[in-house]
Chain A
């Protein structure tokens, strides 16, 4: 599987990104910048969708151990 693919963005946005990264250190290219920003946003959306992994029975069982060990 290739490591990279092409995503289209407006040329105006590309110009703005290039101007910005010329002024700022840290990003080597517009692709680097877009990858960084998208990873941040995608991770945020993924986190929102994570369901609570514990049933109330799980929680009660865990609380019993935590009490026995003096944590609760």
Chain B
């Protein structure tokens, strides 16, 4: 039996924390071969529990360990994160992973590119002990145990989760409030972590949501807490993982909009909604929303289910358009974004990941 140190990336350190705090429950560690293959083939763990994205610990190909070894995972500064009880070492086919999880092996997909940067050797094992993580935004980072107690204290029985990686525009707000109108509370859970160039920075997202909630939501209707997590951009499969994580936080419902967790044109606009028909046993109910827009004829926010007017009467909430407006030093119109949120975004330099 040997003890050894294994330095891990910032993103893996976050995964370790998510396993330890129950965000990724029922996982207790990094996936073994049986779970991995089952997730690829059937979108379920080997015990039939729904699970759609492999959670792997990549190691250099010359890494050697034996069953019973205890491996200390350390962060980039050398601080210990967790003890892993080594179970097995195996190699994966990155092509198979990419095709089954992302639906493509094109390197222009950011999730595929990231996968090919990692070694194809992985190790599996449960975490035996974890140490206190040092995460940014500590004051608005809650664990699943904490949110479950919080929802209970607030007497919320129906809680809708809203996942985001953007500063909120009016379309987001309308979706959240539509969901809130038939639930006790909404759990706003922006993703904090590595993003792609052009995305809003984490600071902007958090400050923008704080401003929106304090100015436009009734008291005791919202819990805002960040999720430390690296987006995979795996579209439908990732939408299911997002729902599983929010179930672990104690939510009963999860809002799924257009192209949830998608990137570019890799997924059909509503593929991330269709996939949920495969999971009657998820334990959280997805709420599906069509895309919202501002309709000049309706004089308000609508979507294609409730608005009969043609496309030229509609103002779409395009992220690309918003970036262009901010980058040129202009303010988006009030139909697009709340003025308080605009002020927050304009106060940040840079507002976007470069």
Contacts and interface: CB of A to CB of B under 8 A. Distances in A.
Interface of A: 26, 36-37, 39-40, 42-43, 47, 53-54, 58-59, 62-63, 65-66, 69, 71-72
A71 B139 CA distance: 10
Given A69-B140, A71-B142, A59 B149 contact: yes
B150 A72 contact: yes
A71 B223 contact: yes
A26 B277 contact: yes
28 contacts: A26-B277, A36-B280, A37-B280, A39-B281, A42-B281, A43-B281, A43-B282, A43-B283, A54-B148, A54-B149, A58-B145, A59-B149, A62-B145, A62-B146, A62-B149, A62-B150, A63-B149, A63-B153, A65-B146, A66-B142, A66-B146, A66-B149, A66-B150, A66-B153, A69-B139, A71-B142, A71-B223, A72-B153
Interface in B271-286: 277, 279-283
A47 B153 contact: no
B34 to A, nearest CB: 9
Interface in B104-144: 139-140, 142
Interface of B: 48, 139-140, 142, 145-146, 148-150, 153, 223, 277, 279-283
B145 A54 contact: yes
A40 B281 contact: yes
Contacts of A65: 146
Contacts of A37: 280
